[in-house]
Amino acid sequence: MLSSAELMPGIRAIDAALWLERQKTLVIGDVHLGYEDELNQRGILVPQFQFPLIQAKLEGILVQVQPETIVINGDLKHEFGEISQQEWRETMAVLSLLGKHSKKLVIVKGNHDTILGPIAHKQGLQIVDGYLAGDVYITHGHEVPENAEFKSAKTVVIGHQHPAIVLKEGGSSEKVKCFLVGRLGRKRLIVMPSFCLVTEGADVRSETPEEHSPFLHDLGDFDVWVVADELLHFGKLRDIP
């Protein structure tokens, strides 16, 4: 069984996914299918291992919860300018899998989703800029919405940043994915890690967050939940040595 932890009342992390209990909504984001293909074209030889592992992880999550709605929060595929054969094949398979396990499948547009339309159309799906589930607004995170649904939400969920943190012990260090939980003015804000398995993400202590997302500025007061064999609460970001 994949690790899980309650990040705030009614909202639970399951590995790198988010489960909104009252809304029976599962959120994943930043899968970046086809990333290995893009790296190989750049001369960085990476075996195409991600897709079967992502399928297995999704199936493990869907054993633990039975969502009515599944939201893909942006960047389902990686390439900006074209749809590679790998992306077409893997994206269709993931959408079919998620569609079989939910009554409603929502695709929120990410910055990498400039030409996702043909795939979504093939599955009979629409691509939206954001999705309101109860009082939780889900948006990718590369742009701040101005619509009424966003303004009315009590909690905002974003991805895009691919948060990770480098943990050090003795002379060794390891980068691990993490959730960030904090405030956005009067709203609560959850930053999800990427569901991509090719890289861990961006170290939130060494990179400037506002370069990646206009939602993020001073992260010191955000709580860090590390995604490992267990979901572990590491406290405030500023207090982590």
Helix ranges (DSSP H) in the chain: 35-41, 50-64, 85-100, 117-122, 148-152
Domain containing 49 equals: 4-239
Report whether 75 contacts 159 (CB < 8 A): yes
Work out the angle between the directed axes of helices 85-100 and 50-64 (0-180°, nearest 10): 10
What is the spatial distance between Cα 212 and Cα 230, in angstroms, rounded to a whole number? 27
Q: Which pLDDT tens digits describe the chain residue by residue (241 residues)?
A: 899 999 999 999 999 999 999 999 999 999 988 766 665 566 655 556 678 898 999 999 999 999 999 999 988 875 655 666 777 788 889 999 999 999 999 999 887 555 667 777 777 888 899 999 999 999 999 999 999 999 999 999 999 999 999 988 777 889 999 999 999 999 999 999 999 887 788 899 886 655 668 898 889 999 999 998 899 999 999 998 8
Assign 209 to helix, strand or coil: helix
Q: How many domains does the chain have?
A: 1
Report whether 108 contacts 74 (CB < 8 A): yes
Q: What is the pLDDT of residue 15?
A: 96
Q: Which backbone phi and psi does 121 adopt, to 5 degrees? A: -60, -40
pTM of the predicted protein model: 0.91
Report whether 138 contacts 130 (CB < 8 A): yes
Q: What is the pLDDT of residue 77?
A: 75
What b/e readout covers 90-115, taking b as 16+ CB neighbours within 10 angstroms?
A: bbeebbeebeebbeebbbbbbebbee
Torsion sign, CA atoms 58, 59, 63, 68: positive
The domain that holds 105 is classified in CATH as: 3.60.21
